[in-house]
Structure 1
Amino acid sequence: MEGSSRDMVVNTPLRRRADPDAAKIYLVGGGIASMAAAAFMIRDGDILGQSITLLEESDKIGGSLDGAGSARDGYVLRGGRMIERKYLCTYDLFASIPTLDGCRTVTQEIFTWNETMKTSSKSRLVRDRKRQTAPDFGLSETHILTIERLALEPEAMLDGTSIADQFDPAFFKTNFWFMWCTTFAFQPWHSAIEFKRYLVRFAHMVSGFSRLEGIMRTVYNQYDSMIRPLQQWLVERGVNFELRTQVTKLKFCDDGDAERVEAIVCRRGTQPEDIAIGPDDLVLVTLGSMTEASSLGGMDQVPELKGKYDGGAWALWEDMAEGRPAFGRPSVFAGHVDESKWVSFTTTLHSETFLTRVREITGNVPGEGGLITFPESSWLASIVIPHQPHFISQPTDVGVCWGYGLVVDRPGDFVGKPMSDCTGREIMMEILGHLGITAEAHEIIESCICIPCMMPFITSQFLRREKGDRPQITPEGTKNFAFIGQFCEQADDVVFTVEYSIRSAQTATYALLGLNREPPPVYQGRFDPRVLAKAFLALHDIPA
């Protein structure tokens, strides 16, 4: 985070521009992109909060930044998002949002917390039940030259290609790949363009990557630490949240030299409804969803693999894009579930044994180490032990662990079944096997609640793509309308991050309101010779 924006506090009045005839703002989707757009509309656009409505098909706000459950029934996190100091749009937004207790801003809380709880992994990889502290990357000179070429090569030359198209098979056995792919959830068949963007975007983190240095966390899970404070701020300003409201279609009309939205077709329960959109009203749509059609299992239940029509996000994009090339190609991202799915799991621990044993094995206290990956795992499984408590409501004698597997269709090494066919009990047996925990295994399993989650589209934004597959935030030939979220195009920044969604919201807000301002620029560490020098040494496994 740069300069004084880290400490900026914006005291926005609860009401501004109290004009009953003010334009109405409709935000389709209730995730962080829509919530951020609502906040920017109020804070920077002088829009009355009660003029803004979020339409969300589920019964909960927050989208993919979720957190639910209880100690009794088991906590659930579908995933967690890495944050770091250069997420300038994120910190700009949350510098205006007080924490739930009102003592400071969310941005201040994050930076203060990460001065106290700094990430420094002593066990980024665990092989043969033994931890590896700051493992070498193990890259050959050819691999390093390829990484350097990708960092410099124009994206147009990588259209439609995969990471596997760029590297030899040996690259995918290196420690660098095991750490990079599990930190960011890349697969060899994913887009070389996205891989390139990550290399450039996080060049400043390469030198500390084997210890996960520079990665930041919120005090609690991101629903409790980010979504709830933001929702509280929006509610106080009169923003309307319409839950269980599925948008099925946008109706467009010609308006001079451009198309504009004239109606939103939605369904509340079983009741269809048309929301009329006036010429001065605005509509922002969160495109697609990486957590659409997610399914939960249980200790003795396997999560179901669902499809793109088990929810409304992909169907809405398909309907809008039909006959409109400028609206992108949703089939590129929603049509390859076998290349975009994986399984995560959240384990609620009613015994101290598991956390104690993991601390002994890894050398890290909860919250200090970050992701622990088992490179020998057939599932390429990883776990995270966050700082406890991880939920605001979590009792002090209860622990929480989260994990996931990138390769879910191979038989496990200890249970002999693919992760996609496993119950929570079987997933915990597999993880305990890789940790070498045998004597206490029965006690741990019988005192925990492990809830697996199948997510068919979780890495869909990483799939191979070409120019035009993702639409611009404000497509050419449209007015009163914008796309936000993970599936619109933004130069230089990287998907699968909170920052990407918030940047899209900020960009869309300023464009639609005609404000003479822009979001903070994407950090460009590749132009800093100090960053490049450190990255060069790290890639060659040369101590700095």
Structure 2
Amino acid sequence: MTNFQTVYQRSFPVSPDGDPYVQNDLGLYTHNHPVPPADVATRRAYLVGSGIGSLIAAAYLVRDGQMPGENITILEELAVPGGAFDGSGDTEKGFIARGGREMGQHFECFWDIMKDIPALEMPAPYTVLDEFRITNENDPNRNPCRIINHQGHRRDAYRMGLNRKGQLAVLKLLFARESDTYYKSIEDWFDEDFLHSTFYTLWKTMFAFEQWQSLTEMKRYMHRFLQYMPGFSDLSCLRFSKYNQNDSFVVPLVRWLKDQGVVFRYDCLVHDLEMTITAHRKVVDAVLVRHGDGTEERIGVTDRDVVLVTNGSLTECTGYGDMDQAAPYNTDELAGWELWRNLAKKSAVFGRPDVFCADPDKTVWESISFNFIGADHPFLRKIKELTGNDPLSGRTVTGGIITVEDSSWCISLTMNRQPQFHGQPEDWGVAWAYGLYPFAVGDCVGKPMLECTGEEILKEYCYHFGLLDQFEEIRSRTKVRLATMPYITAFFMPRGKGDRPEVIPDGCVNLGFLGQFVETPDDCVFTTEGSARTAMMAVYGLLDLDRDVPPIWPAQYDIRALLASAKTLNNGTLPGGRLLARLLKGSYYEDILPS
């Protein structure tokens, strides 16, 4: 049994058929300080990529592995850290973030490290977790306008609109073995009535699912976020950071890592690993780096060192546009996937990357950053009308996305607490938006989204928000930044066992995988928690640290969560609720029924 398997089974006991049991190891007893390897001071770590998974892995190496920071090197292709957790801009061009992640209370691995990272703005001893929690407890999230239609009219989103067949299909999916979903799509399982229901409209736009994508991942999401279903209609189940997520998480984490001596090297594309592979061992001997000027570098590695690879890239080939230029749809140079493809040629345990990156037409969408200038901007007034919240108050604005359900592009828009960026003027409102179906022809501009300039996309939004008659004023007082991402939902492509590598693949001595294209027990992708979990599992496994990786919060086994979700899916009426109420009346368990 490898060191990783020991840690894995300690945290996720495995049944004879291979399925992890859920074990509630979330108590303080498991929050011990592990004893590091005796030789940790002489070992080195090389982390490929500086996305959130790598940054958190480096933090675990320092905090729990007690590896000296100067022994840890992060190799990044770009000139800045953070990967998809980006955010930048100025008042000349406008501010931009390619995306934002919905967050919750039960991100066990992510909050485990963020509770020890000094806060961005608050003084010691406050941490990133303290700052995040204080923000959300003092300003609870709620979205009073989740769906609009008919050019800016708010509509109720509380009734899920699932017929009996749709409800039974959800139950059937929850009960199905995961292997029964391999290589199936969402539309293979659910009928057209389900795909046009309010529930699925909320679901697909909240998580960015498309109906031709993975049923396996949809099943994982349903189990993982079962406890959030009662809050889907107003997103009260979510939490958001004060600023954009680069400033709120990446900046303080990078600052702390540098204070520990961690080395950041940029302009370093790791394209392959030299490995010695035998029947029972797979050892990295060297990391091969290509620099922007074409020069090559070989970094030697011993079997006592650690190499952690972020395989694949959801933001690879991003094309940028603005008010006057459409964002190009680039699919030719897959530099961020070269390493994974090369590793996959060496052994089947490293997965099959082409399952995810071979069909960008099925994984692309376009994100938009709108910069609305002036407190009396018509779009800011419209957002206040729809939500009842002042966009420039510094408090929650939309509380998550507003989706236009009759948009051919399936557009959504969110405006989080303002300002979102340091340096953002106090009378600017910066909103993030995206279109799920970028090949569809726009309802107003009559062109596919991918062919549109920022001005044309702004016009389409004005049409759907009932502001087309004010377009000229809006255009003159708005800056638009565009980002087309061909592989943004590549991890949602239908898949099966073995398509993604394990965090520590079979036989690997000094190699682990991080990020969104890695197999983890029960957890799902497109979350900060997913990346954090792979980081924790990789570091604890390769260093053989005696500390449990916390399991997924066991909401799917909580009768209260099950009852509340059943009530939500049945349009606010609990199936069999009257009978249950009579049976439990006056008993100790009377209060478990959802109100």
Shorter-chain TM range is over 0.9
| CA deviation string 1:74-132 (max 9, x = no partner) | 11111101100111111111001011235211111111111122221111000112112
Post-superposition offset of 1:521: 1.0
Q: Tell me what 1:302 maps to.
A: 326
| Matched residue type, 1:193 | T
- Check whether the contact 1:57–1:312 (CA below 8 A) recurs between aligned residues: no
Give me the whole-angstrom Cα distance separating, in 2, the residues matched to 1:464 and 1:383.
27
**1:486 aligned to 489, 505, 516, which one?**
516
- Check whether the contact 2:186–2:211 (CA below 8 A) recurs between aligned residues: yes
1:207 partnered with 2:227: no
1:63 partnered with 2:80: no
| Inter-CA distance 17–166: structure 2 relative to 1 (3 Å threshold) | closer
**1:226 aligned to 249, 253, 271, which one?**
249
1:111 partnered with 2:133: yes
Post-superposition offset of 1:481: 0.5
Q: Tell me what 1:427 maps to.
A: 457
Q: Tell me what 1:362 maps to.
A: 387
| CA deviation string 1:422-471 (max 9, x = no partner) | 11111110011101013432111111111111000000001100111011
Q: Tell me what 2:275 maps to.
A: 252
SS of 2:371's partner is: strand
Higher Cα Rg: structure 1 or 2? Answer: 2
TM-score, normalisation: structure 2: 0.87
- Check whether the contact 1:122–1:133 (CA below 8 A) recurs between aligned residues: no
- Check whether the contact 1:408–1:420 (CA below 8 A) recurs between aligned residues: yes
| CA deviation string 1:395-425 (max 9, x = no partner) | 2122101100000001101111111111111
Q: Is there any run of 5+ residues in structure 2 with no aligned partner, and where?
A: 1-23, 574-594
Matches for 1:363-442 after TM superposition, within 5 Å: 363-366=388-391, 367-368=396-397, 369-442=399-472
SS of 1:479's partner is: coil
Give me the whole-angstrom Cα distance separating, in 1, the residues matched to 2:545 and 2:520.
19
Post-superposition offset of 1:477: 1.9
Post-superposition offset of 1:213: 1.1
Q: Tell me what 1:271 maps to.
A: 295
SS of 2:55's partner is: helix
1:91 partnered with 2:111: yes
Give me the whole-angstrom Cα distance separating, in 2, the residues matched to 1:86 and 1:509.
21
Matches for 1:30-69 after TM superposition, within 5 Å: 30-69=50-89
CA RMSD of aligned residues (A): 2.1
- Check whether the contact 1:351–1:444 (CA below 8 A) recurs between aligned residues: no
| Matched residue type, 2:285 | E
| Matched residue type, 1:116 | N
- Check whether the contact 1:27–1:55 (CA below 8 A) recurs between aligned residues: yes
| Matched residue type, 2:143 | S
Give me the whole-angstrom Cα distance separating, in 2, the residues matched to 1:18 and 1:402.
48
Post-superposition offset of 1:19: 8.8
Q: Is there any run of 5+ residues in structure 1 with no aligned partner, and where?
A: 11-15
- More displaced 10-residue stretch of structure 1: 241-250 or 431-440: 431-440
Give me the whole-angstrom Cα distance separating, in 2, the residues matched to 1:154 and 1:257.
30
- More displaced 10-residue stretch of structure 1: 211-220 or 255-264: 255-264
- Check whether the contact 2:37–2:65 (CA below 8 A) recurs between aligned residues: no
| Matched residue type, 2:380 | L
- Check whether the contact 1:29–1:285 (CA below 8 A) recurs between aligned residues: yes
Give me the whole-angstrom Cα distance separating, in 2, the residues matched to 1:219 and 1:247.
34
**1:291 aligned to 315, 330, 335, which one?**
315
Give me the whole-angstrom Cα distance separating, in 2, the residues matched to 1:359 and 1:54.
43
% identical aligned pairs:
38
- Check whether the contact 1:163–1:188 (CA below 8 A) recurs between aligned residues: yes
Matches for 1:454-533 after TM superposition, within 5 Å: 454-533=484-563
| Matched residue type, 1:67 | G
Post-superposition offset of 1:170: 1.4
SS of 1:92's partner is: helix
**2:345 aligned to 304, 318, 322, which one?**
322
- More displaced 10-residue stretch of structure 1: 100-109 or 338-347: 100-109
Give me the whole-angstrom Cα distance separating, in 2, the residues matched to 1:323 and 1:480.
16
- Check whether the contact 2:409–2:440 (CA below 8 A) recurs between aligned residues: yes
Q: Tell me what 1:443 maps to.
A: 473
1:183 partnered with 2:206: yes
Q: Tell me what 1:22 maps to.
A: 42
- Check whether the contact 2:370–2:481 (CA below 8 A) recurs between aligned residues: yes
SS of 2:361's partner is: helix
| Inter-CA distance 189–241: structure 2 relative to 1 (3 Å threshold) | same
- Check whether the contact 1:17–1:47 (CA below 8 A) recurs between aligned residues: no
